Structures are given as structure tokens and as C-alpha cells.
A and B are shown apart, each in its own frame.
Chain A
């Protein structure tokens, strides 16, 4: 498989580092930086220190020029580290977007007058196509825009979008009619109705999302920013307050220097929650990027965060909880027939059945009963499954082999004049159904031979995943079209919390609404057009890329791999983004305690030498203490960039345990780390000062 998207791009890849460096300098422009108010304040602070530096060179400052100069330098670095973190996160997205954009080369399309093969067509540029146009796409041609197949069927290579090189079938009608612009038809021809104007196509939206161009702050991000701005404002006042207080204290004590502007500004920057403010944009962008590494595109940052909040997960049984197809696992004869006879009849009835279920019957007959699949004579007549008869089979040499649901077979047998209810049939059918499997009754003409046990195979390891979800407080509900008996059995085996059997689209919609009414956040996956209303209603709606256009439009997350268990990854990443934000906020604020112990005694030492007792770290000199705090405050940003980009490790733990763990690591760690860090920096700085 050649995938462009799953390739992990190293954080410190030179191709990304260099442009990110340039970009980070561009981002210093106050007109863009004000979007991050905390860092905007830091930039103003840096500018002020630049002025005090110039003043100290000219001798108009209480401090030596080397001190104000170094403080100014490190304050500027603090801002640059912050813009660099954002540029780095964006850079990774841009690298991916660039690879996608390559596929969006200008293509020419055959626009049809009427949506029929053989209709007149004209060659137009892909960019001229509008919603509602019909185009003809033939083998080895690029599909010029997003659309829906209205006629024909073709093999399409969607590697450009999904990274999956195996071609997929796209055909008119049904759930596999959606095609994406930029993908290539490999065989056959199709007529596509264009469903998106240029610039609005799936690929366009993907590119702009990945680039972060259209990234809007999520409500949660804004709420956190409110907190950070408030704290910054308070710290601004704390520093502003320190100035008159120190002026008074100097007057009262009769000696010492009031706290200088440079030191006040340095204190302000150290106290302001710069660590989290610097990394906040990167966390959101990196989250999107991590999702993309898993081949999932979130159409908004809100959707990913909502995923972190999900309490109810609606999962389609087929493909998510069970392997897509049922398998024959046993033949149960009735009415005095032997297993061997039944196996033979079942195999004969399935010889022309190309469905995976049909094939599994032949395989079972071969493996367990040693029957060899006979070459069917050409005159054998295939009776395909039809909606009216609801059975399928083969007519061969005057015999009619049939298999189907028990009521359909009974009808068939009754019409053929046979005994409709041989001994044990009802019991066997019931038992199989109750065990969660599908009973298929087999007959030859008017004679019922027995029952095939078709079983849903629950995916390996799925129980553990549900267990994890449960411990995180997420309830899983299995959705299936099966009857309640079957559904209950599979639900029990897969250990889901609840199930919805014989689910019709309106049932799904009602289930979602009921859960939302009760205050839950609901996530679901879907691919069919009939899922679209439910997808639109769900808080987190994941559509399979193989799904229909309506389903994809109703969703807010698209899974390019069309793997429904992805929902679990999405939930994890959603939680990770919030956790990273919370943890870094706690870390950032906890750091302030040590910074106070470094800066306050240093700043006030000349007024009250006794305050030297607060210098618990034993920092070598006031200048070194203040510089060390400023340097620590700056370098902690790049040091935490990898954490911001990767996200804090996800642990499926109940809320309380998770809180304790994170408080120990980021709260207590946040208090202790700067004491060690500032002391270490002081040991180095102290050698020169």
C-alpha cells in the first residue's frame, strides 16, 4: 500500500523546520499576533525591554546594558518560540496539503448534454464545471470533480485521496455512487453528476483544513483563552502594583532601588501563562494532523473535541463489531436426513452464489465433509436471490436446490406440495437464531433437508475495546437490521452495552434524539444514504469515504479508510487534545511559584536585604536569578513542543484516576520542575555574571 498520508512526518524534519523558521518570524507581525492575546502582550513586553536596553546603553537605566540586553533577547525568543511552535504544526499540515494539491492538477472533462452514454459531449476545463453538470469519465481518466455516478459502473483508484491503492467499484444507485475529484477511473466508463463547485470539492476542503487556513477556534479553546487572558491581565496588574509598592518601600526604608521597568516586564512575562498560550494553537493543529495520520479528516475542530465528549457510541454491527460477512459454521439436518446429504444439498444450492456467505457454505462443505465442488454443467440454471422469493439456488437436472430464510423456504415447499414442517425444523431454526446466528433452510424441491448455521464472526479484540470505552464512561450501542434474538446474542458476545435490532433509519434517528434529549453526546458511523438523517443529527458523525454523497455531506468527520472502528481512535484524539490543553495550562501556572521565588527576592533585595531568605534556590545573584527565570520561561516552550504535537499520552482510566495522575505529573511536576530548571540555568549563567 502506498500511502502519502500515513507516513509520519518527523517533527524535526529539515524540510519543515526551515520554512517554519521563516514563517515564525513572519508571524511576529502584531497584526497577526494579536489573535493570540497573551503572546501579543509578551511581544509588547519584549518591545519595552528593547527600549530599556537602548536606554541602558546610553546610560539612562539602573541596570547594566548586558542585563537589559539579555532579558530583551530572551523575551523576544519567548515570542519566537511560540510562533515557531505554531508554524511547525502548520508546516506539517502544509507538507501534507502540498502532496494532496499535486493531485489537483488541471484536468479536462467531457461535459455531456444529457446524462446518457452516447450523448454529445464537449471538452471543458475542470474548473468550469458547476453543480448539476454531467460528465463522462472513461478508463484511465481523472474524475474532474466530486459527484455521483448516475450511469454505469467503474473501477476507481482513489489512492490520491485515501492512500489505498486497491481500486474500488463505483456504480450508479445504491451506496457506492459517490466519486471524488482527483481520483482515476481504471476500467469502464461512468457518467457523473457533479455535486460541488470548483473550490468547494472534498479535496479542496481537505487541503484547506489540513493547512489550517480555515481553522477556527473551538468554543472550548475560546473558554480557555478567556481564562488565560484574565490571568495575564491580573499578572499585568500585579507587576504594575509592585512598582508603587516598591517606590513607597524605598522611601520608607530609606535605601534601595524601586523595581525597575526591565525587571517588572521580566516578571510579567514569567508569570503570564506563556507556555500554554504559546502552544495552544499548535495543539489544535497537531490534533487535526494526528487524525489525518490515521486517515481521518475532521471537517471542523469542533467535531474532534465533541468526539472527546461522546458518551454514547452507535456502531453498525456489520463491519464494525463483526467481520463484514457471516460464515457457515454447521449443517444441522432435519426430517431424518444425514449431515452428509444436507451438506451436499447446501453446497449445490450455493455453487452459483458469489456472495461471501454462499462461498463460505461451499468452503465448509469441502472442509468438513470432504465434498468436492462439482463443475456445474453449463445448462445448470442459476436462481439468484430476489426480493420477491427471498431465496436463491440452482436448477439442475430437474432438481431445484434452494436455500433461504425459513419462512420463504416453507412457502416454496408448500407451493411444491411437500411436507412443510419436518420434525425439529422449528426447534433448530429457533436455536440457531437465539444463539445470534442466521438459520438458512435448505431444500431440494419439496423436501426440506436441514438448516445451515450462518454465524456472525465478532472481530477479535473488540471486547477489550468496548471494555476500555466503558471504563471511560462511554456506552456502546450496536445497531443492526437483525431480529432482536440474533442481535441480543451478538451483543452479548461482543459485550456491547445495548443494541437496537431491526433498525430502520427512523429508529436510528429516534435513538439519537432520545439520547441527546437525555443530555448525552452521540457519535455514530454510517455510509448509506439512509444513514444521512441520523448522521446529521448525531453530534459526531463519521462517514465512510466509500459512503454516498449525502452521507458524506451529513457527516462532520470522514474516514478515508472506511474502517468503522476508527471512531474509537477519533474519541481518543479528541480527548487527547483537551487533555494536552488542560495539562499544559496546569503546568504553566504551577511554574509561577518557582519564578516568584527566583524573581521577588532578587527584585526587592536592595530594599529589604532580609528578603534574601526567600531565595530558597540559592541563586547566585539578583541578575542571574532574573535571567535564569526568563530563560527557563522561554526554553520550556520548545521543550514542550513535542508534547504539544504528539499530545499527552492517552490512558483509558476513569475520570478521577486520570485527574489524580495528570495532577501529579503536570501539577506537582509543574511546581517542582522550574525549581530544578532555574537552579540549573543559574549554575551556568552564574559563571559569567
Chain B
């Protein structure tokens, strides 16, 4: 790590920590319905929306109604996006006359965006019209993020409220999250990104001559698309010279901001944030990573503030930071050692394959751990091209359950479910019926926490197992063997945990992955969300147990360390065998 990278890293975490408190406090005010400095402008809009939709702002919901509202709202959004994708050739703002999606790709994409996953089995510039990008995908980027935040706010209310069954109003929480938090920050962020060179236009794609025409050998194909073989069975190639190139355009900046801020990750272009029109400079890179971690990090402060003890929030943030920084260090370390196979050829040094030189190694590593620790899934580095152990870092961060900052809302609620489990075992170890934030942890909370933290892992285990013995699934691998196994594992990990990034070697646009992936995303998103709401409902009805010397302090270092340990042990025990056959085997093979 050179001085520039060190400074970049230190200033990054410093700025993040400085922002956590004001942003977190602001969010607490928003969700508690208090006036903020944006109210003069936004309150009339908010009221107008409620009037149009006929929402009674004084109405509170129990957990079942809250969950029903959340599910129905998401279902409606899904239907709208599904239709839009299928019918985009009939809709406006489609300068390239792009056709509609196949049904299973439309299913996968609609599920992907409504679940905040943004897994993309298509490539944006060659499949999606401007209209779909803006009216479909970008809208979902806002509302899926606001949905996650609403659920965690309901859970926090469950911890804070006493002897009530009411958790707040989903419509209000969702609207406020989008209107007061996501929109204003995205607006500012989009402007900052435009200043760095991110494009924002409705122009048709541009064709420009290449400064230096390039030639390459292209495998010859017959009319059916099969490679033509020579006499000895070797593929026949033909020389192709490229003289001009098509450059995709579009309203990128507006979508780029919410893509990071809402931990959505669905890139405008296939290359995502490694594309120079999405992420042109080291500064834009810095801003984008900050946007990814901003809300998930700040929510911990919102949580502490609403729970009446900000240290509770800081403790969770400390756990997240600890794991993130250690992961960053390991990734940075193994990538700077480089690839031994390449070293043998005499090219020593950092493994720069799949990385953008303009971001430096630290800028790439930091983006990689941030986008996989949260459920963002945007990428500025090809994870598939990382060294085996390096690639295991983003894979492991996803497999931990997207809690190292995690998705907006979903990260914190999954982390809180982990805290409930950690409190339960630790509580027993000190001889008390466990309690967290003054609420007793009983059978119902255990069930719901377990569903929250284990659903995604269970889905990964089941689906990756099915995939490895399905010929249609293994045929999609670009690199059979241990690396191919990692690609499939990564694909299901990413979809179940609603991350959305991919080990790029896998061709996922086949019905097998599109359909199973949709199932994974739905289960990984809604089982935990509903379980969390059920837990919130049960917690809200409990009375408060005041702390005493015999109460386990959950806002201090020992508990934070224990929580980190529980997270790592649960993750390691669940995925060690799979990782051993994937990245670990690949690592030892490469190094021996």
C-alpha cells in the first residue's frame, strides 16, 4: 500500500464516521415524524401524496398489517416492472428499438430489482431502454431501499415500544424514507458525479472511429452458430479488424447515485462502476463507496438514538467496521502478493487483472469489500479475476448474510437478529434469561432471529447443491473445476443474500439460473423481512426490564467481540466445506 492508498483509506473511514452521526440523527427525526430542515419543501409533497393515496397518517399497524402492506406493495411493483420489461419495445424513450425481455429474464430482473438485489443477467446498454432504466429500474432502486429501511425502523420500534402491538405505518415509513432521505442525498450525489464526468443524457448511442484500429482472430461460426472446426478438429478463425466503436449513452448519473446509496448495485452499463461513464475518477470512486456505506452505517446511529442509548448503535457499527477493515486488509494483502502463476512468468507484483488502474489497488479493494459487505453488488473490479483467496473475501462477506453494514435496512435488521442470538447464548452464560435492550428473548424471538439469519444460507446450500449436479447449470461455467464451483456458489450467494454482484465467468442468462435465482432472491428477501416484523410485533408487546449489574451490557467491547465471533463462526461452520472445494482448493492448487 503506497502513501496515496493509505491516505485514501484513512480519509475514507474518517469521513464515513463523521457522517454517521448527523445522517443517523436526521433519519431518526424523519422516521419519528419530527420536523427537519427539509420539511418546508417536502412536507407539502408528502401530504399531497397521502391525500392522493388516501393514507391516514395517524393510523398505526400491527406487525401482520405492516407485513401485508409491505408484501402487497412489493408485489405491485414487481408486476409493474415485469410488464415493463416484457413490453419495452412498445414503450417510449427507446432510441435503439430494443426488444422486450424473455419471460424468465423479465421474471429474474423484476424480482431482482424489487428485492434490492439487482442481479443482472442482462447487460444494461444492449438490453434495456432509457424508459425502462428510469421509470422501472431507478424507481425500484428507491422503493426497494425504502422498503428495507421501513422494516428495520419497525424492528427498532419493536425494541423501544412497550406493551403495544403497533409498529408504525408502513406507507408513512416508506414514503418518508424515499422522500426525505434517499431523494435529497441522491440529488446531491448525482450532481457530484456529473462534476466528475458521469454522463446524463438521452442521446442515441454514438459511433466513433477508433484512433488505432484493432485486429483480432475471431472463431468462425457456421449458420447455426456452431464453431467451424478444421481438419484436425481445431477451431477455424478469421481475422477481424475493428475500425469504429459504438459508445452507449444515457441518463447515467441519476441512476448511479441511487444505485450506490440504496445498496442496489444494478449498473446502467454491464461493466457497472468500472465503466468510465459510471465511475470516471478516483474521486467519483471515493464518493460511490461512501454512498454505499452511508445509510447502512448511519442507521446504526438512528437505531441507538431511537433505542435511547447511542452506544448500542456504536457497538454494532464497531462490529461491522472491524470485519470490514479486516476483510479489506486481507484482500489488499493477497492481491498485492499477486498471482503465483503470473509471477512464475516473471511478472511480479499486484494482481491487476480485472482492476481499473485509475482506482489503484486500495480503491478497488475498498469498493469490493464495501459492495459485498453491504448488499449493494455494484462493482468496480471483476471479482472473478481476483486471486482465489482474494475472491473468497467478497464471497465470504456475502455469505455472512450481508450484515457488514449490509443492505439499507436489511443489513441492520439481520445484524440485530444476530445480536439476539448472541445475546441469547451470552445471557445463558451469565445465568440469566437473556434480554436485549430490556426485552426478554424467548422462544418466538429465537425462531424469528434464526429464520432471519439462516434463510439465505440454507437457500445457498440447497440451490448450489442442485446446480452442481444439473448439467444445464454446470454448462454455464466458463472455468470448470474449483473456480467454476466458486462461480456457481457466488451466484447463489449473491442472489439469496440480495447482493447482485457476480463472478463474471458464469453465463447466468439461462432459464435454470433465472428461475432458481428468482426463488433464491424472493426467499432471501421476504422470509427474513417478515420474520423480522413478526419479531418486532412480539418484542413490542413485552414489558421493559430495566438493566442492573446482572444484565449483560450489550454496548461494550466484550459483547461486540462476542457478536463478531458468533457471526464469523456461524458463517464459517455453514460454508467451510463449500469454500474448501472452491477458493481454498484453487488457492492450494495455484500455490503448490
The answer to whether A585 and B425 touch across the interface, beta carbons within 8 angstroms, is yes
**How far is B424's CA from A305's CA once the two chains are assembled, in angstroms?**
15
- Within the complex, which residue of B432, B484, B592 is in contact with A252, where a contact is CB–CB below 8 Å? B484
Choose among A226, A470, A590, A655 the residue with the greatest number of B CB atoms under 10 Å from its CB: A655
The answer to whether A578 and B433 touch across the interface, beta carbons within 8 angstroms, is yes
Choose among B432, B464, B584 the residue with the greatest number of A CB atoms under 10 Å from its CB: B432
With A520-B545, A611-B580, A654-B549 as contacts: A227 and B572 at CB distance below 8 Å = no
**How far is B482's CA from A237's CA once the two chains are assembled, in angstroms?**
20
With A234-B457, A245-B578 as contacts: A305 and B584 at CB distance below 8 Å = no
- Chain A proximity of B562: nearest CB distance (Å): 6
- Within the complex, which residue of B474, B484, B548, B580 is in contact with A614, where a contact is CB–CB below 8 Å? B580
- Chain B proximity of A603: nearest CB distance (Å): 8
Contact partners of A663 in chain B: CB under 8 A:
429, 558, 562
- Within the complex, which residue of A306, A579, A590, A662 is in contact with B569, where a contact is CB–CB below 8 Å? A590
- Within the complex, which residue of A222, A235, A244, A650 is in contact with B573, where a contact is CB–CB below 8 Å? A235
With A222-B443, A608-B589 as contacts: A227 and B466 at CB distance below 8 Å = no
With A219-B442, A473-B550 as contacts: A579 and B430 at CB distance below 8 Å = yes
The answer to whether A655 and B469 touch across the interface, beta carbons within 8 angstroms, is no
With A238-B574, A585-B425 as contacts: A223 and B580 at CB distance below 8 Å = no
Say yes or no: is A123 at the interface (Cβ < 8 Å to chain B).
no
With A242-B578, A656-B556 as contacts: A223 and B442 at CB distance below 8 Å = yes
Say yes or no: is A128 at the interface (Cβ < 8 Å to chain B).
no
Contact partners of A475 in chain B: CB under 8 A:
548
The answer to whether A241 and B573 touch across the interface, beta carbons within 8 angstroms, is no
- Chain A proximity of B276: nearest CB distance (Å): 36
With A238-B574, A252-B484 as contacts: A226 and B430 at CB distance below 8 Å = no
The interface bits of chain B over 217-257 (1 if a CB of A lies within 8 angstroms of the residue's CB, else 0) are 00000000000000000000000000000000000000000
Say yes or no: is B318 at the interface (Cβ < 8 Å to chain A).
no
With A219-B442, A245-B468 as contacts: A234 and B425 at CB distance below 8 Å = no
Q: How many residues of B contact A (CB 8 A)?
A: 65
The answer to whether A659 and B429 touch across the interface, beta carbons within 8 angstroms, is yes
Choose among A234, A519, A650 the residue with the greatest number of B CB atoms under 10 Å from its CB: A519
The answer to whether A473 and B549 touch across the interface, beta carbons within 8 angstroms, is yes
The answer to whether B429 and A666 touch across the interface, beta carbons within 8 angstroms, is yes
Say yes or no: is B427 at the interface (Cβ < 8 Å to chain A).
yes
The answer to whether A242 and B577 touch across the interface, beta carbons within 8 angstroms, is yes
**How far is B545's CA from A613's CA once the two chains are assembled, in angstroms?**
50
**How far is B572's CA from A520's CA once the two chains are assembled, in angstroms?**
38
The interface bits of chain A over 222-255 (1 if a CB of B lies within 8 angstroms of the residue's CB, else 0) are 1110110010011101111111111111001100
Say yes or no: is A57 at the interface (Cβ < 8 Å to chain B).
no
- Within the complex, which residue of B457, B462, B553, B574 is in contact with A655, where a contact is CB–CB below 8 Å? B553
The interface bits of chain A over 544-579 (1 if a CB of B lies within 8 angstroms of the residue's CB, else 0) are 000000000000000000000000000000111011
The interface bits of chain A over 626-668 (1 if a CB of B lies within 8 angstroms of the residue's CB, else 0) are 0000000000000000000000001000111011101100110
With A222-B443, A241-B578, A473-B550 as contacts: A610 and B588 at CB distance below 8 Å = yes
With A519-B438, A585-B425 as contacts: A238 and B588 at CB distance below 8 Å = no
Say yes or no: is A416 at the interface (Cβ < 8 Å to chain B).
no
Say yes or no: is B461 at the interface (Cβ < 8 Å to chain A).
yes
The answer to whether A227 and B424 touch across the interface, beta carbons within 8 angstroms, is yes
Contact partners of B546 in chain A: CB under 8 A:
518-520
Among the stretches B107-115, B397-405, B446-454, the one at the interface with A is B446-454
The answer to whether A220 and B450 touch across the interface, beta carbons within 8 angstroms, is no
Q: Which single residue of chain A is at the shortest CB-CB distance from B162? A: A519
Among the stretches A165-173, A326-334, A420-428, A592-600, the one at the interface with B is A592-600
**How far is B576's CA from A267's CA once the two chains are assembled, in angstroms?**
12
- Within the complex, which residue of A220, A267, A519, A579 is in contact with B543, where a contact is CB–CB below 8 Å? A519
The answer to whether A659 and B426 touch across the interface, beta carbons within 8 angstroms, is yes
With A241-B462, A613-B588 as contacts: A574 and B450 at CB distance below 8 Å = no
The answer to whether B450 and A582 touch across the interface, beta carbons within 8 angstroms, is no
Q: Which single residue of chain B is at the shortest CB-CB distance from A660? A: B558
**How far is B352's CA from A488's CA once the two chains are assembled, in angstroms?**
77
Say yes or no: is B551 at the interface (Cβ < 8 Å to chain A).
yes
- Chain A proximity of B429: nearest CB distance (Å): 4
The interface bits of chain B over 36-61 (1 if a CB of A lies within 8 angstroms of the residue's CB, else 0) are 00000000000000000000000000
Contact partners of B549 in chain A: CB under 8 A:
470-473, 654-655
Say yes or no: is B337 at the interface (Cβ < 8 Å to chain A).
no
Contact partners of A604 in chain B: CB under 8 A:
580-581, 585
**How far is B298's CA from A331's CA once the two chains are assembled, in angstroms?**
72
With A226-B450, A230-B454, A240-B461 as contacts: A579 and B428 at CB distance below 8 Å = yes
The answer to whether A234 and B458 touch across the interface, beta carbons within 8 angstroms, is yes
Q: How many residues of A contact B (CB 8 A)?
A: 77
Contact partners of B427 in chain A: CB under 8 A:
578, 582
- Within the complex, which residue of B424, B432, B592 is in contact with A610, where a contact is CB–CB below 8 Å? B592
**How far is B464's CA from A243's CA once the two chains are assembled, in angstroms?**
11
Say yes or no: is B153 at the interface (Cβ < 8 Å to chain A).
no
**How far is B482's CA from A607's CA once the two chains are assembled, in angstroms?**
11
Taking CB atoms and an 8 Å cut-off, the chain B residues in 76-96 that contact chain A are none
With A230-B454, A519-B438 as contacts: A309 and B432 at CB distance below 8 Å = yes
**How far is B442's CA from A518's CA once the two chains are assembled, in angstroms?**
19
**How far is B580's CA from A397's CA once the two chains are assembled, in angstroms?**
104
- Within the complex, which residue of A227, A252, A474, A608 is in contact with B588, where a contact is CB–CB below 8 Å? A608
With A220-B433, A245-B581, A309-B432 as contacts: A659 and B466 at CB distance below 8 Å = no
The interface bits of chain B over 322-350 (1 if a CB of A lies within 8 angstroms of the residue's CB, else 0) are 00000000000000000000000000000
- Chain B proximity of A601: nearest CB distance (Å): 8
**How far is B426's CA from A157's CA once the two chains are assembled, in angstroms?**
46
- Within the complex, which residue of B421, B425, B458, B552 is in contact with A586, where a contact is CB–CB below 8 Å? B425
Say yes or no: is B277 at the interface (Cβ < 8 Å to chain A).
no
Say yes or no: is A308 at the interface (Cβ < 8 Å to chain B).
yes
**How far is B439's CA from A266's CA once the two chains are assembled, in angstroms?**
39
Say yes or no: is B544 at the interface (Cβ < 8 Å to chain A).
yes
With A519-B543, A611-B580 as contacts: A574 and B588 at CB distance below 8 Å = no
Contact partners of A305 in chain B: CB under 8 A:
433
**How far is B577's CA from A220's CA once the two chains are assembled, in angstroms?**
32
With A220-B433, A656-B553, A667-B565 as contacts: A249 and B581 at CB distance below 8 Å = yes
The answer to whether A519 and B569 touch across the interface, beta carbons within 8 angstroms, is no
Contact partners of A666 in chain B: CB under 8 A:
429
The answer to whether A593 and B572 touch across the interface, beta carbons within 8 angstroms, is yes
Choose among A233, A234, A267, A470 the residue with the greatest number of B CB atoms under 10 Å from its CB: A234
The answer to whether A473 and B551 touch across the interface, beta carbons within 8 angstroms, is yes
**How far is B562's CA from A242's CA once the two chains are assembled, in angstroms?**
29
Q: Which single residue of chain A is at the shortest CB-CB distance from B545? A: A519
Say yes or no: is B465 at the interface (Cβ < 8 Å to chain A).
yes
**How far is B577's CA from A239's CA once the two chains are assembled, in angstroms?**
8
With A578-B431, A586-B425 as contacts: A252 and B480 at CB distance below 8 Å = yes
The answer to whether A575 and B431 touch across the interface, beta carbons within 8 angstroms, is yes
Q: Which single residue of chain B is at the shortest CB-CB distance from A475? A: B548
Say yes or no: is B481 at the interface (Cβ < 8 Å to chain A).
yes
The answer to whether B424 and A244 touch across the interface, beta carbons within 8 angstroms, is no
- Chain B proximity of A308: nearest CB distance (Å): 5
The interface bits of chain A over 297-341 (1 if a CB of B lies within 8 angstroms of the residue's CB, else 0) are 000000001101101000000000000000000000000000000
- Closest 8 A/B residue pairs (Cβ): A582-B428, A473-B550, A575-B431, A473-B549, A473-B548, A610-B588, A582-B429, A248-B468
Sample of 5 more A-B contacts, CB < 8 Å, known A245-B578, A656-B558: A219-B443, A227-B446, A243-B465, A248-B474, A608-B588
16 inter-chain pairs at a CB distance below 8 angstroms, sorted by A residue, are: A224-B428, A233-B458, A242-B578, A248-B474, A249-B485, A252-B482, A474-B550, A579-B431, A582-B429, A604-B581, A650-B431, A656-B556, A659-B426, A659-B429, A659-B430, A659-B552
A residues bordering B, Cβ < 8 Å? 219-220, 222-224, 226-227, 230, 233-235, 237-249, 252-253, 267, 271, 305-306, 308-309, 311, 470-475, 518-520, 574-576, 578-579, 581-583, 585-586, 589-590, 592-593, 596, 600-601, 604, 607-608, 610-611, 613-614, 650, 654-656, 658-660, 662-663, 666-667
